[in-house]
Structure 1
Amino acid sequence: MPGYIITNAEVFDKDAYGEYGKLAPDAIAKYGREFLTRGGAAQILEGNWEPHRIVVVKFDSVEQAKAMYNSPEYQAAKEKRIGAADFNMIVVEGN
């Protein structure tokens, strides 16, 4: 069953966030991924959201998504975005 990481990222410092952007895709690709969306325009249909940069990444399983998140490669990328962006991130099972 596939797993999806869904992120809502509010970017404060585009230059510093760019350093994260240089490292994260390679870390994610190592675990077999498909970006379904990367920051396209979001429209609220219901609720009290404040969407910023929405990213959805598909993995073969939730376990694989969590392995990517906990990997040394992704953790190194994550260090680059601290202070540059606030992330809300979940992993969810899919079909």
Structure 2
Amino acid sequence: MPAAYLIVEMNITDPTRYQQYMAEAPAAVKAAGGEYLVRGGRHEALEGDWQPHRVAVLRFPSYEQAKAFYDGEAYTRIRALRHGATDYFNMVLVEGVAAPV
């Protein structure tokens, strides 16, 4: 079963409020079997016109586990903490490729 990835782009406009979200989100990600691969950091557009302010990438063991995390009670509550802290917060869930046999 291939891993799944949550790819997020955001523009944080209220860092103090966003800190409340970040104080709780990592524990919920870990409890759901996920891990952060990218969380901010240096980036640059190499092709196209995509210019995100901040990027995060999370990996989960499966698409279903990532979806269960997103829809789960814990993350639903935690998501509410970031309301009003970002200009935009875009997230996509994508299934990875199956490991070669």
TM-score tier (shorter): over 0.9
Please identify, of 29-38 and 12-21, the stretch whose mean Cα deviation from structure 2 is larger. 29-38
Q: In the TM superposition, what are the counterparts of 1:32-43 in structure 2 within 5 Å?
A: 32-43=33-44
The Cα offsets for residues 40-94 of structure 1, whole Å up to 9 and x where unpaired, read as 1111011111211110000011111011011111111110101101211000011
Q: What is the number of residues matched between the two proteins?
A: 95
Aligned residues with identical type, % of pairs: 42
State the alpha-carbon separation in 2 of the partners of residues 70 and 34 from structure 1: 17
Give TM-score scaled by structure 2 length: 0.90
1:88 maps to a residue whose letter is N
- List structure 1 segments (4+ residues) > 2 angstroms apart after TM superposition: none
Aligned match of 2:58: 57
Q: Distance in 1 between matches of 2:92 and 2:56?
A: 11
Q: Is the partner of 1:56 in helix, strand or coil?
A: strand
Does the residue aligned with 1:90 lie in a helix, a strand or coil?
A: strand
CA RMSD of aligned residues (A): 0.8
Instruction: Identify unmatched segments of 5+ residues in structure 2.
Output: none
**Secondary structure, in 3 states, of the residue corresponding to 1:46?**
coil
Asked if 1:10 is matched to 2:11, the reply is yes
CA distance in 1, matches of 2:39, 2:17: 18
Describe the SS at the equivalent of 2:45. Answer: coil
Deviation of residue 35 (structure 1)?
A: 1.2
Runs of at least 5 residues in structure 1 that lack an aligned partner in the other structure: none
Structure 2 CA distance, aligned partners of 1:71 and 1:52?
27
Q: TM-score when scaled to structure 1? A: 0.95
